[in-house]
Amino acid sequence: MIILNRYIPDEVINEIRNAADIVDIVSETVRLRKQGNNYVGLCPFHSEKTPSFMVSHEKQIFRCFGCGEGGNVFSFIMKRDSLSFPEAVKALAQKVGIQLPEQENPEKAAEIKLRDRYFKINELAKNFYQYILQNHGIAKDARRYLEQRQISSETIEKFQIGYAPPSWNSLLQFLSNKGFSGKELETVGLVLPRTRGSEGHYDRFRNRIMFPIWNVQGKIVGFGGRVLDDTLPKYLNSPESLLFNKSHNLYGLNKALESIRQSDQVIIVEGYLDVITCHQAGINNVVASLGTALTREQGKLLLRYAKNVIMAYDTDAAGVKATMKGWQLLDELGFRLKVVSMPNGKDPDEFIKNHGKEKFLQLVQEYGQNLCDYQTDRAMEKFDIYTLEGKFKIASEVIPSINNMSNEIEKDETINRLAKRLHLSPEAIRAEVEKFTRTSRNDWRNRDKIVDIRNNNTDFVKVGNTDLGQTGARVKAERTLMSMVLHDIKLFKKVKDQIGITFTENQEYLVIINLLNEIVEKELNYQPASFFDRINNERVSACLSSLMVLDLPVEDKEKVFDDCLKTIKEDETRKRREDLLRQMENADKQRDYELRKKLLLEYSKLI
């Protein structure tokens, strides 16, 4: 469970939330119409033609039944404006006219002040690099390089591209004159300490085209520098700092957000210039990983904005390796994925310049491959398809991915395609897949969860219950029980007394239950809408919003509640009986008759 590190008092947050009607706030972005007790409209977070976005005035929450987004008024502002929780609270406080108190946490206040100072340093460095590129004679080779790469002056301005001169301390002198110390510049990653000779620092970036790296809010967190010749390293990024963590950022995301949301699709490329050329061509839903391989944190960042990903990495050895690693990671997070292979080993930058925007979009939309087809192409480059051994090795590389496919129709089509390409019968490939399934040691208990997210089924009916022997009645009972408790927290004590707080194996439910338990034990004020402020996890938040909007029975609520408790108890008894039968069977095999007798006695009591 992750709780946001807030420095604004809870009572002030509650006051702001109560002062802001979520219907009014959402109406600034979405055209809502009344439907029963709620309001509906087109979701602002994904592209749709039929309204699936609902706002509840009574509960002060929103929920999209298409993409699964949901939460309270703060959640909406965070998602809409790409803000952190404290930033959303401040924005809403200003809108409703509530004065925020002075910072009561001196450490947090000091950290914020320090970050602001570092952001100022980066902004000034960016201005320095831009000025040198645009105005200084020393940058003529850099300007010529960008011209040869067909980067327009408008694009240079949009992406704030600059140039670091070859001198050892020009940036250091510029920022020192602005009142910043060498130690501060070292912390941000713009200079390095001298290791021999006189004390002091020297510029980290020299004789490089400079690309500012922004966070989602558009603040500069670091830089990437590219050489003009064959000097190594070709690219040099800022080091890790208080502002910059390359595994948590994606280049160009702040400029691609609107397009990504509208299309519900993101194209991931490798390099700065790939992103820049795509945007220059009008293909704006493009970002780049800062390095060769995606990280889980970057994947989670993308998951806020889209669920469809197209990977367009280079087809060299490093690119293929990065594609495979990125694919596995994104697949685990629940994305719908395709891979595009650039013809003749070109990257998106070269392809667009040679063939144009429309050809690139056609390549992306019509020739994107699933993982199995991509793996087949790569394996056929390594092994001889005309020998039995080569065919076996190609199939062996692809079969694990076929086994992991959740859609049986897609799996069958993939088997047929692989068989045709290898000149084998589909039955032979299918038999090998089934053999792999039987012998595989991989645990795929979370596949249902992944498929639910990928298919926008974020009602989480199956989450946490896959392969756990739970009946449909048990799943429905847990879901109804959770929703009833969230609407009336007084019921929580009855749940805790009768079935405990670990009655479920659904991980999202357990997070919510533990928070409810904390609220009850500490006698905290509980409002359903305020619950979202305590959660900083996309999956749990989506689960919570689906529970909040569940239609509950109007009559016989007490009977429904008791029936849910009874169903869960009976299912636990059933599972215990099955477990005892397995243990008795093992006891028979071990000829442990004393243990069998003891197990039989417990089994008899249960029936």
CATH number at residue 152: 3.90.980.10
Q: Are both 124 and 149 inside the same structural domain?
A: yes
Task: Assign residue 34 the CATH number of its domain.
Answer: 3.90.580.10
* Pair 60, 35 in one domain: yes
Instruction: Tell me if 509 sits within 8 A of 500, measured CB to CB.
Output: no
**365, 260: one domain:** yes
CB 391 within 8 A of CB 385: yes
What pLDDT was estimated at residue 210?
A: 98
Residues 6+ apart with CB under 8 A from 291: 237, 246, 247
CB-based contacts of 517: which residues, under 8 Å, 6+ apart?
492, 496, 501
Range with the poorest average pLDDT among 121-130, 144-153, 263-272: 263-272
Beta-strand runs (E) in 132-176: 162-164
Residue 585: its pLDDT value, please?
83
Q: What is the pLDDT of residues 422-465, one digit of tens each?
A: 999 999 999 998 888 777 544 333 443 444 444 444 443 333 33
The answer to whether residue 491 is domain-embedded is yes
**CATH number for the domain including 339?**
3.40.1360.10
Q: What is the CATH number of the domain that holds 548?
A: 1.10.860
Residue 371: count of CB within 10 angstroms of its CB: 23
Whether this prediction's pTM lies above 0.85 is answered by no
**Based on the structure, what is the number of domains in the chain?**
5
Query: Are residues 14 and 23 in contact, defined by beta-carbon separation less than 8 angstroms?
Result: no
Mean pLDDT of 82-111: 81
Q: Which residue has the tokens 């199939």?
A: 395
Whether residue 607 lies inside any domain: the answer is: no
Same domain assignment for residues 261 and 240: no
336, 309 contact by CB (below 8 A): yes
Q: Assess whether 207 and 298 both reside in one domain.
A: no
**Span of 159-173, 403-417, 505-519 with lowest mean pLDDT:** 403-417
Burial state string for 541-550 with b = 16 or more CB within 10 A and e = fewer than 16:
bbbbbbbbbb
What's the per-residue H, E or C state across 368-386?
CECHHHHHHHHHHHHCCCC
Q: What is the DSSP letter of 565?
A: H
Give pLDDT, residue 469.
43
Separation of alpha carbons 108 and 101, rounded Å: 14
| Any domain includes 599 | no
Pair 185, 258 in one domain: no
Contact of 286 with 256, CB cutoff 8 Å: yes
Is 111 in the same domain as 240?
A: yes
Chain mean pLDDT for the chain:
85
Same domain for 214 and 167? yes
Among 369, 385, 412, the domain-final residue is: 369
CA 227, CA 263: separation in Å to the nearest integer?
A: 35
| 3-state per-residue secondary structure call for 249-268 | CEECHHHHHHHHHHHCEEEE
Range of the domain at 429: 373-439
Q: Tell me the residue type at 503.
A: F
Q: Would you tell me how many other CB atoms lie within 10 Å of the CB of residue 431?
A: 11
Judge if 323 and 412 occupy the same domain: no
| Close Cβ partners of 1 (under 8 Å, ≥ 6 residues apart) | 511, 514, 515, 535, 537
Residue 596 in domain: no
529 domain-assigned = yes
CA-CA distance, 203 to 473, in Å (whole number)? 66
Q: Do 271 and 334 share a domain, yes or no?
A: yes
The last residue of a domain, from among 64, 96, 128: 96
Is residue 467's pLDDT more than 60?
no
**Beta bridge pairs of residue 203:** 191
pLDDT at 10 over 90: no
At 458 the pLDDT is 40
**What tokens appear for 314 in the block?**
């280079």
β-pairing, 38-41 vs 286-289, is unpaired
pLDDT at residue 462 in the model: 35
Same domain, 364 and 291: yes
Quick one: pLDDT at residue 92?
92
Q: Is residue 589 part of a domain?
A: no
Q: Are 274 and 238 in a shared domain? A: no
Q: Is residue 446 assigned to a domain?
A: no
Residue 105 clears pLDDT 70, i.e. is over it: no
Would you say residue 405 lies in a domain? yes
Which CATH number is 430's domain given?
A: 1.20.50
Write down the pLDDT at residue 406: 65
Q: How confident is the model at residue 416 (pLDDT cuts 50, 70, 90)?
A: very high
Give residue-wise pLDDT tens across range 491-530. 999 999 999 888 888 888 998 998 898 888 887 778 888 8
Q: Tokens in use for 283?
A: 């293909």
